[in-house]
Amino acid sequence: MSVIVTDQGFAPDHWQGEVRDLPSDTDPATLTAIPNEALVRIAFPSSADGRGFTLARLLRLRGFTGRLRAAGHVIADQYAMARRAGFDEVEIDDALAARQPEDQWQFRADWRAHDYQARLGARRTQA
């Protein structure tokens, strides 16, 4: 079973439409023909493999407006980075959800407030 993590917390996977799965080693040059209606799920084979973040960012920069999901070995500490890269949600298995309960993910749900760019902007307004 899978658990979907969003800014609101844990939820079951209710997606009924098509899913386009992309492995982490997808050639970025092939990202131009992804339809916006589909859910695109990018695999994270390891929490140390950051290529999925790059793929998500490139998809968003190239105009993808559909639903974007990180799936696999994403840990709670990476949630803010996933959201900033353009992911709408993260799909984890039940075992990871048990090791890193919902409150650990919720702690990182305010992903816009604590990035370095926000801190830099605060310094500029103080000057």
Question: What pTM, to 2 d.p., does this model score?
Answer: 0.84
Query: 96-106, pLDDT tens digit by residue?
Result: 999 999 999 99
Residue 3 has pLDDT above 70, yes or no: yes
Using H for helix, E for strand and C for coil, what is the string for the chain?
Answer: CEEEEECCEEECCCCCCCEEEECCCCCHHHHHHCCCCCEEEEEECCCCCCHHHHHHHHHHHCCCCCEEEEEECCCHHHHHHHHHHCCCEEEEEHHHHHHCCHHHHHCCCCCCCCCHHHHHHHHHHHC
pLDDT at 1: 81
Query: 50-107, pLDDT tens digit by residue?
Result: 999 999 999 999 999 999 999 999 999 999 999 999 999 999 999 999 999 999 999 9
pLDDT at 16: 92
